[in-house]
């Protein structure tokens, strides 16, 4: 029986992985996977990792030396994996789409909560304060929403926004053909949008795509929503834009330094990250701890797809969800073996 080490385990992970197990010995660790904890996977055939694990060159070498043959990411993102170090040693697979609806719906929830001050109203009425002062919002109908990234999640978000009667414009390095989406240049999107929502992966091209210069191009009073990756936004520049009124409100499910904090309870601890502390303290910022994916349907899909990925690997099949180092994030190159229906290596 193949042994699989599952890192950064939460109670809900164990429930769904046990339910969907297709015949593996699952070893659960609460620790995040990194160069120090990689030794815990000794005698395991594969590891299952999550979005905030640090799978750098040292971690990969440690895994490889301990006999690990596969890294199964149970998330869509993989910017935390050193693929150059993994190439030729350990194959990497992922879960490309566990529920685009979950994340897109959470983005809308953040926007609606910010706009209609639901969080403030909730806290007031619990103290029997029924005043409406300071709770004004705006109609979303007729407003322009700029969507950066039009993959599956971005397109679901676009459909929801259209349902609200919003005008949608979008920017993507790789526009979806025949999608009916109104693509514009990034500067145009920044200048015309009343709401900007981020749904793109974190790459060298998108790192801090919303930076100090980008904020100067936005119309005053814009809402910023990010349910993708924290480093898409320069957090210090966001703070400045919140302070000067450029940004009316920010709904964030991610933060660029989240790996040190998210998914854990720090309620009894003094947080030493000043930027995070200032963001949380602002009444026009709602920050959730990377929970946009967290629906029963998504958890089911994560576990079942991960098991499918493991089954394919250990039965020597083509890896449907392999992330190929040579193909630069999925853009197939001429000499790539996957083009011929084979594995990356």
Mean pLDDT of 186-208: 96
Reported as a pLDDT band with limits 50, 70 and 90, residue 330 is very low
Identify whether 74 is a catalytic site residue.
no
> Would you give the DSSP letter of residue 108?
H
**In what order do the strands lie in the sheet containing 285-287?**
167-171, 144-148, 195-198, 222-226, 247-252, 285-287
The pLDDT of residue 99 is above 80:
yes
Structure pTM? Answer: 0.88
* E-only strand ranges, 291-335: none
Stretch 124-130: mean pLDDT:
97
To the query of whether residue 199 is one of the catalytic residues in this protein, the response is no
Q: Residue 327's pLDDT band (boundaries 50, 70, 90)?
A: low
Options 199, 229, 248, 338, the catalytic residue: 229
Distance CA 181, CA 179 (A): 5
Annotation marks residue 229 as catalytic: yes
- pLDDT value, residue 259: 83
CA–CA separation, 167 and 261 (whole Å): 36
> Alpha-carbon distance 134 to 9, whole Å?
41
* Among 258, 312, 322, 338, the one annotated catalytic: 258
When pLDDT is averaged across residues 14-26 and rounded to a whole number, the result is 97
Cα dihedral sign, 117-123-127-128: positive
Cα–Cα nearest to 171, from 183, 158, 156: 183
What domains can be seen in the chain, in order of their start residue? 3-98+296-340 (3.40.50.720), 100-287 (3.40.50.720)
* pLDDT at residue 334, as a whole number: 62
Burial of 234 (0-12, 13-18, 19+ CB in 10 A): buried
Q: Would the pLDDT of 13 be above 90? A: yes
pLDDT at 250 over 80: yes
Residue at token pair 């397109």? 155
Task: Give the residue-averaged pLDDT of 297-301.
Answer: 96
Point out the catalytic residue in the list 94, 290, 312, 322: 290
């Amino acid at each position: 029986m193949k042994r699989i080490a599952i890192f950064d385990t939460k109670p809900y992970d164990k429930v769904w992985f046990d339910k969907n197990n297709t015949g593996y010995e699952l070893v659960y660790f609460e620790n995040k996977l990194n160069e120090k904890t990689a030794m815990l996977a000794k005698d395991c055939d594969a590891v299952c990792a999550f979005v905030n694990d640090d799978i750098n060159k040292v971690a990969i070498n440690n895994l490889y030396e301990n006999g690990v043959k596969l890294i199964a990411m149970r998330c869509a993102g993989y910017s935390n994996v050193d693929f150059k170090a993994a190439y030729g040693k350990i194959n990497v697979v992922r879960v490309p789409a566990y529920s685009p609806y979950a994340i897109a719906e959470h983005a809308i929830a953040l926007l609606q909560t910010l706009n209609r001050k639901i969080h403030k109203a909730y806290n007031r009425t619990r103290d029997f304060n029924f005043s409406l002062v300071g709770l004004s919002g705006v109609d979303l109908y007729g407003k322009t929403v700029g969507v950066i990234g039009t993959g599956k999640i971005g397109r679901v978000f676009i459909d929801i926004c259209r349902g609200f009667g919003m005008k949608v414009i979008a920017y993507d390095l790789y526009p979806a053909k025949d999608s009916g989406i109104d693509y514009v240049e990034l500067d145009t999107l920044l200048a015309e949008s009343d709401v900007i929502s981020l749904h793109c992966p974190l790459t060298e091209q998108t790192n801090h795509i919303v930076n100090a210069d980008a904020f100067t191009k936005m119309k005053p009073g814009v809402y910023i929503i990010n349910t993708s990756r924290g480093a898409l936004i320069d957090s210090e520049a966001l703070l400045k834009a919140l302070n000067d009124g450029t940004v009316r409100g920010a709904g964030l499910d991610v933060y660029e330094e989240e790996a040190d904090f998210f998914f854990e309870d720090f309620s009894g601890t003094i947080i030493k990250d000043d930027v995070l502390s200032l963001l949380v303290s602002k009444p026009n910022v709602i920050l959730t701890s990377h929970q946009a994916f967290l629906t029963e349907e998504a958890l089911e899909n994560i576990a079942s797809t991960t098991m499918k990925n493991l089954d394919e690997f250990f039965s020597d099949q083509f890896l449907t969800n392999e992330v190929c180092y040579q193909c630069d994030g999925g853009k197939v190159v001429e000499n790539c073996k996957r083009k011929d229906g084979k594995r990356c290596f």
